[in-house]
Amino acid sequence: MTLRADARDNRDRIVDAAEQLYAISGVTTPMSEIARRAGVGAATLSRRFPSRESLMDAVFARQLGWWMSAVDAAADAEDAWSALLTLLEETCVQQAHDGVCADLVVRSFLQGASFDVEKAAVSAQVERIIGRAQRDGKASTDVSWDDVVLLIEANAGAAGLTTADPEARARRLVHHFARSFAAH
Amino acid sequence: MTLRADARDNRDRIVDAAEQLYAISGVTTPMSEIARRAGVGAATLSRRFPSRESLMDAVFARQLGWWMSAVDAAADAEDAWSALLTLLEETCVQQAHDGVCADLVVRSFLQGASFDVEKAAVSAQVERIIGRAQRDGKASTDVSWDDVVLLIEANAGAAGLTTADPEARARRLVHHFARSFAAH
DNA sequence: AGATAAATGAAAGAGTTCTTCCACTTAGTC
DNA sequence: GACTAAGTGGAAGAACTCTTTCATTTATCT
């Protein structure tokens, strides 16, 4: 079932608008406001995304695409340890910058089953990177995928909070995790 | 302007109910539901707390009282470093257990000016503890009050997210911060 | 260009939540 | 016990948000 061209354009604009407004006002932003910013009627939005959750999934799917590329790039790097640190910092700074809110990450990625395939792929890649960094003697042996998830949760949670310099906060958070992740 | 005895009881029950429901359903819990659990009419709640924010402040004021006691106790301890670690763990586990959501901590404590006096007192105490731990050669010299705030933000952000074992997550988060805080 | 099915937005309707009014109840005071 | 002022809850109503209907517009195919 393929969408007509104009409908697909509208769909894209809706996801754009939602992404922007989620960053500003959180995922509880009224659907009508998202529709207005997207330049479509409320009916169109309701028709395309019957529930708020389905729209959240669509927004998250994009951000996940970006992240999977970053993870793949890190997995190809020579130095696993520095690639891991770079990946974590890029991820958190990106989250801070785009204002990715915790609700989005959690409901779509961690809680629901919508992205199980992607989740499995990402976690496998990240675990490979961690494993290599551990064999190189750079990463502590107690670090695991769960700790990366914890960092992302913590960062997403903090990212929703207004601060003078959200990017600096993200870097500081990664700084602490990196020091803890390092072999002692 | 002092409240009548029965009115004060009702007020207390409202704050009780709000604290419990905030932990379960977040700060967007309908005021009417809070009123119902408190066993008062919606009118009474509206009269006592004209805005959702004023109720959030009242709930937070209590939790802040608990925290200030914990901070004072830590400041009196012999071993500043272990007192600091204990304080951070207690604080985060308490947050995880009570489901203190980020909205509450941020709006009331970090953002608004409502608790400026308490904030100044707590930060001064914590900085004293950190300073002592640093002089003892236990804490890294780059640790500051801001890092403690960061941990609390991160923990509060993550605490709002459903997980099998929120307490374990809080402990894990503190574990990483503790390793980073330690002198290298 | 004409036919056809897909897609759209304005407006109405349904469901929530918050606030206010007002007749009634209760605590505090003599 | 009686008086007074403070306090209360039910109900009405105002404000929002989401969904659906339907007449109209627009893309796509031949």
Residue B170 binned pLDDT confidence (cut-offs 50, 70, 90): very high
Check CB contact of A150 with chain B, cutoff 8 Å: yes
Q: Do B175 and A180 touch (CB under 8 A)?
A: yes
Average pLDDT over residues B112-121: 88
Nearest to A56 by CA among A97, A92, A27, A98: A27
Residue nearest to nucleotide C7 (CA to C1'): A7
Place of tokens 């393929």: A2
- Per DSSP, B30 falls in state -
B:13-72 Cβ neighbours of strand D under 7 Å: 39-44, 47-48
Beta bridge partners of A182: A139
Average pLDDT over residues B140-155: 95
Q: Are B125 and B147 in contact (CB under 8 A)?
A: no
Out of A147, A157, A184, name the one closest to residue B160 (CB): A157
Please, what is the average pLDDT of chain A? 92
Any strand D atom closer than 7 Å to B120 CB:
no
- A44 CA, D21 C1': separation in Å? 13
Q: Do B157 and A154 touch (CB under 8 A)?
A: yes
Residue B102 binned pLDDT confidence (cut-offs 50, 70, 90): low
Q: What counts of helices (H) and strands (E) characterise chain A?
A: 9, 0
Average pLDDT over residues B107-123: 84
pTM of the predicted protein model: 0.91
Out of A111, A160, A172, name the one closest to residue B157 (CB): A160
Residue A101 binned pLDDT confidence (cut-offs 50, 70, 90): low
CA distance B173 to B106: 19
Q: What is the pLDDT of residue B99?
A: 67
- B18 CA, D1 C1': separation in Å? 40
User: Which nucleotide is at minimal CA–C1' distance from A11?
Assistant: C7
Q: Are A105 and A90 in contact (CB under 8 A)?
A: no
Nearest to B171 by CA among B96, B65, B70, B63: B96
Average pLDDT over residues A49-55: 95
Portion of chain B with pLDDT greater than 90, in percent: 73
Q: What is the pLDDT of residues A114-169, one digit of tens each?
A: 889 999 999 999 999 999 999 999 999 999 999 999 999 999 888 777 677 889 99
Q: Do B157 and A162 touch (CB under 8 A)?
A: no
Q: What is the pLDDT of residues A59-93, one digit of tens each?
A: 999 989 999 999 999 999 999 999 999 999 999 99
**CA angle centred on A140, ends B136 and A66, rounded to 5°:** 115
Q: What is the pLDDT of residue A97?
A: 80
CA distance B158 to B169: 8
Centroid of chain to Cα A145: 15
The dihedral region occupied by B39, where left means phi > 0, alpha psi between -120 and 50, and beta the remainder, is left
Q: Do B150 and A160 touch (CB under 8 A)?
A: no
Average pLDDT over residues A107-117: 79
Return the exposure string of B70-97: e unless at least 16 CB atoms fall within 10 Å of the residue's CB, then b. Answer: bbeebbeeeebbebbbbbbbbbbbbbbe
**Which residue of A153, A165, A172 is the best one to mutate when testing the B interface, meaning the one whose CB has the most B CBs within 10 A?**
A153
Q: What is the pLDDT of residue B165?
A: 87
Q: What is the pLDDT of residue B2?
A: 87
Q: What is the pLDDT of residue B98?
A: 74
Beta bridge partners of A139: A182
Of residues A44 and A153, more confidence is placed in A44
Domain ranges for chain B: 1-50, 63-181
Q: What is the pLDDT of residue B139?
A: 98
Residue B108 binned pLDDT confidence (cut-offs 50, 70, 90): low
CATH architecture of B63-181: Orthogonal Bundle (1.10)
User: Which nucleotide is at minimal CA–C1' distance from A28?
Assistant: D17
Please, what is the average pLDDT of chain B? 91
Q: Are B154 and B169 in contact (CB under 8 A)?
A: no
Check CB contact of B120 with chain A, cutoff 8 Å: no
Residue A166's closest chain B neighbor by CA? B150
Residue nearest to nucleotide D5 (CA to C1'): B4
Check CB contact of A126 with chain B, cutoff 8 Å: no
Straight-line distance from the first to the last Cα atom of chain A, in angstroms, rounded to the nearest whole number: 55
Two tokens, residue A182: 């390092």
User: Which nucleotide is at minimal CA–C1' distance from B39?
Assistant: D9
Q: Is the pLDDT of residue B5 over 80?
A: yes
CATH number 1.10.10 is the correct assignment for the domain at B1-50: yes
User: Which nucleotide is at minimal CA–C1' distance from B48?
Assistant: D7
CA distance B112 to B57: 10
**Chain C: nucleotides under 7 Å from a protein CB?**
6-12, 16-22, 26-28
CA distance A141 to B122: 36
Name residues whose C-beta falls within 8 Å of residue A97's C-beta, 6 or more positions apart in sequence: A166, A167
Q: Which residues in chain B have their CB less than 8 angstroms from residue A99's CB? A: none
Give the DSSP per-residue string, B36-76: HHHTS-HHHHHHH-SSHHHHHHHHHHHHHHHHHHHHHHHHH
**Which residue of A27, A28, A173, A181 is the best one to mutate when testing the B interface, meaning the one whose CB has the most B CBs within 10 A?**
A173
Residue type at position B3:
L
CA distance A103 to A28: 10
Q: Is the pLDDT of residue A110 over 80?
A: no
Residue type at position A37:
R
CA distance A95 to A62: 13
CA distance A132 to A122: 16
